[in-house]
Structure 1
Amino acid sequence: MRKLFLVALIFGFSSSIQAQKFSKEVIDSMYTIVQHTKEKLSKPSKIKLMAVGDIMMGTNFPDNSYLPPQGKGPFDDVNHILTQADILFGNLEGTLTDEGENAKRCSDPSKCYSFRSPESYGKYLEETGFDVMSIANNHIGDFGEIGIKNTSKTLEKHNIAYAGVFAQPYTIFEKNGITYGFCAFAPNKDCVKIHNLTNAKKIVSELKEKADIVIVSFHGGAEGLKHTHVTRKTERFYGEDRGNVYLFAHTMIDAGADVVLGHGPHVSRAFEVYKNKFIAYSLGNFCTYSRFNLTGIKGYAPIAEVDIDLEGNFVKGMLHSAKQIDEVYPFMDEKKRALKEIKKLTEEDFPESKLIFEEDGSFTQKKEY
């Protein structure tokens, strides 16, 4: 009898331990599920990315006559659009620095296009909500190493991610529970090179391992009214190799990029969707106060709004048409000239993308069944 009691006691004690162990495993499992659910719920179901082209808000070189009058912000007339973005991108065409000597050789300073915006102008970018900017272009080195350094410090001060120079070829940042990887390329001496596809693929592949969404920017292609089309070949301008932007964009997406955003030609170019990923081949000029030729199509200032899912795939888009005229900051264009231009170029250059543009600026990809 005593032996049976001991056996029962041991069995009961053992069952109690198993029960406690089981309960802990269940609790740990439930906790993990709850944490994953909370993380999933904290992320948006899609991302509204907005992108614009070249930004140079005014320059005090060669003198202060190229600065705008005080009292009006650069983005005042377009902020009602830009502030709707989850992620807002632009190309900083020039420097944000209060010091540095002109690094270009110019016999006549009035004809030397070097851009030095005051560091205080960084506040305009932050107030509008720019999250990330390319500094890979032919003007980031206008005021030498100190200009690049101060531009970087100014962007950091205003919590704006950036990339494209040797000291910062790429960056990773987080917003609304989503991690973004960003890198930028250009053909210019101070920048990570658009021509080196091997290096560019390596950067994108590494970002893909660390980030949820990878955004690539390039400054490339020939400039001006005669160069609105994507040739799918290497483009040269003033004897300089400006890259094969078609090959570059496709190679970046093949390597893992989710969005590719181009600028540099100072005119708008076509949109494309390749492997369900969005490409803008040139977003033209956007906010370029003085010292820029803004006649005709050079004054079109498109705002590309693209919805992507959490895998980086294109869902739908909206093209907002803004415009510039000389020494006037961008404003919305009721005639929607940027929309008409990009619609035409997209249909001509990339009919295989099957992008359909509506009169209101929305665009979607026609599905094949």
Structure 2
Amino acid sequence: MKISILGDIALDKSVNTTNAVSEALVDRIVIANLEGPIKSDFSAAIKTGPTLGSDLQPLKELLSDLNVSVLMCANNHIGDYGEQGIEYTYNQLNLLDIDSFGYKSKVFKWLEDSNGKAPNIQIINMCDVEWGTDRDFYNGAISFDFSKLNNAINLSDKNSFRIVVLHDGKEYHELPSPELRKLCHNIIDMGVDVIICQHSHVVGYVEMYKNAKIYYGTGSFCLEKKGPMSNKIYNSISVNIDLDQDFNPYISETFFVNKNGAIDVSKPTKLKDLKDLKMEDYKEYWDNEFKKKSYLYVGVLMGHSNKMIRILNSLGFYKLIMSKRGLRKIKNVVRSRAHREYITNMKL
């Protein structure tokens, strides 16, 4: 069985794909992340951050060009048009004969080969807790927790090959954060063979842990939007998993570039590997990042807009008003489960 897992897809205008893209995906089970619902005349959900979605016709054309047969929907944008948007998306994908999971309580999927046989290959799709997950409404994106993962794994046998696609990570960072790395290691310890992290919009580092491979970012395959997001260049990879009859995997990558709405195969490069990075450099990177963003998150917790945060932070406002004791109180409230429960259940 040959499987290719692509990065994010969201588009409201047509894109072009070269013959090389089609050839790279021929005779494979092609799976992608649908970064947002199929749009209709529904109102956007009340949330923070951008609202994403795809127009049906350009999405239909792209999925056909790529021969996509399965879409993953556990992400922070699939609920951007509420429950109606999710139901509409699910129904439209069924009409296109495309299976979808990662929402509507569908945590995982068994993959079948072209002959309809069902070898023990399980792909599990979950995401970080943001807007539009099953914490907000029943049919939302599957939010990650260990009990759901354990239940899914327990439905497979010890000879199964298990893939977890986790929509988690920090945007535009190639390096995984310490918490994400620890989480992925714990998932591997439960018996997972490959982890693919998405959400960062960049191609990230890779890591081998206990003979299992972790991809910390596949990049955005196609985020083609009208307006300010137009004319950007996106680099991405597909993770290709070829399994023989004994479930021995051969894992490789295909590199893609989307430049001004034209998607092509790009020259392969060596992925950055965590084993080549000194751990003191890794620690310093994240120490600096956390320090740099500390006061920005004070502004978020105070409910300030992004524009106001940028202005006030540049003026040193947060440093002026926030004592170290105040920062310690914020840190304790956010990291404590007992306190955090009050925050996550605030009535807005």
After TM superposition, the score normalised by the length of structure 1 is 0.63
How far does the alpha carbon of each residue in 1:171-222 deviate from its partner, in whole angstroms, 9 at most, with x for none? 334224234433211112412222x22322222222x239944322111011
- 2:272 is equivalent to residue 330 of structure 1: no
Counterpart among 145, 151, 173 of residue 202 in structure 1: 151
Deviation at 1:280, TM superposition (A): 1.8
Aligned mate of 1:218, from 158, 162, 166: 166
* Partner Cα distance (2:153, 2:77) in 1: 24
For 2:297, the equivalent position in structure 1 comes to none
Distance in structure 1 (CA, Å) of the matches to 2:101 and 2:201: 21
Change (3 A) 1:309 1:165: same
d(CA) in 2 for partners of 1:136 and 1:306?
21
User: Residue 183 of structure 1: which of 115, 124, 131 is its match?
Assistant: 124
Say whether 1:193 aligns with 2:143: yes
Residue in structure 1 matched with residue 195 of structure 2 by the alignment: 260
Q: Equivalent of 1:164, from 88, 91, 102? A: 102
Aligned: 1:348 with 2:294: no
RMSD (Å) for aligned C-alpha atoms: 3.0
- Determine the C-alpha separation between the residues in 1 that align with 2:64 and 2:168: 26
Structure-2 residue corresponding to 1:307? 242
Contact 2:22 2:65 in 1 (8 A): no
The 3-state SS of whatever aligns with 2:71 is strand
Counterpart amino acid of residue 109 in structure 2? T
Distance 1:129 1:350, change over 3 A: farther
| Conserved 8 A contact 1:322-1:332 | yes
User: Secondary structure of 1:221's partner?
Assistant: coil
Q: Deviations for 1:329-356, whole angstroms, at most 9, x for unmatched residues?
A: 321224x4xx24x2x34553599xxxxx
Aligned to 1:289: 224
Unaligned runs of 5+ in 2: 134-140, 280-348
Select the residue among 95, 112, 133 that pairs with 1:174.
112
State the aligned residue count: 264
Equivalent residue, structure 2, for 1:114: 51
Higher-Rg structure is: 1
CA shift in 2, pair 1:183/1:316, >3 Å: closer
Q: Is the 8 A contact 1:102 1:143 kept in 2?
A: yes
Give secondary structure in 2 for the equivalent of 1:174. Answer: coil
Select which of 211, 228, 232 maps to 2:174: 228
C-alpha distance in structure 1 between counterparts of 2:273 and 2:26, whole Å? 28
Provide the C-alpha distance between the structure 1 equivalents of 2:229 and 2:154, rounded to a whole number of angstroms. Answer: 36
CA distance in 2, matches of 1:105, 1:273: 37
Structure 2 distance, partners of 1:350, 1:166, is 42
Normalised TM-score (structure 2): 0.66
- TM-aligned CA distance change 1:250 to 1:311, over 3 Å: farther
Deviation at 1:95, TM superposition (A): 1.2
C-alpha distance in 2, partners of 1:193/1:134?
Answer: 13
> Aligned pair in 2 of structure 1 residues 74, 98: CA closer, same or farther (>3 Å)?
farther
* Partner-residue secondary structure (3-state), 1:116: coil
Indicate if the aligned counterparts of 1:300 and 1:322 stay in contact, CA closer than 8 A. yes
Report if aligned partners of 2:69, 2:99 keep a CA contact under 8 Å in 1. Answer: yes
Offset at residue 302 of structure 1 (A): 1.7
Report if aligned partners of 1:285, 1:301 keep a CA contact under 8 Å in 2: yes
Gap change, CA 1:264 and 1:253, over 3 Å in 2: same
Per-residue deviation, 1:77: 5.4
Report the counterpart of residue 237 of structure 1 in structure 2: none
* 1:141 alignment counterpart: 79
Contact 1:259 / 1:312 at 8 angstroms: preserved in 2? no
- 2:17–2:65 CA contact under 8 A, matched in 1: no
Q: Provide the C-alpha distance between the structure 2 equivalents of 1:102 and 1:284, rounded to a whole number of angstroms.
A: 25
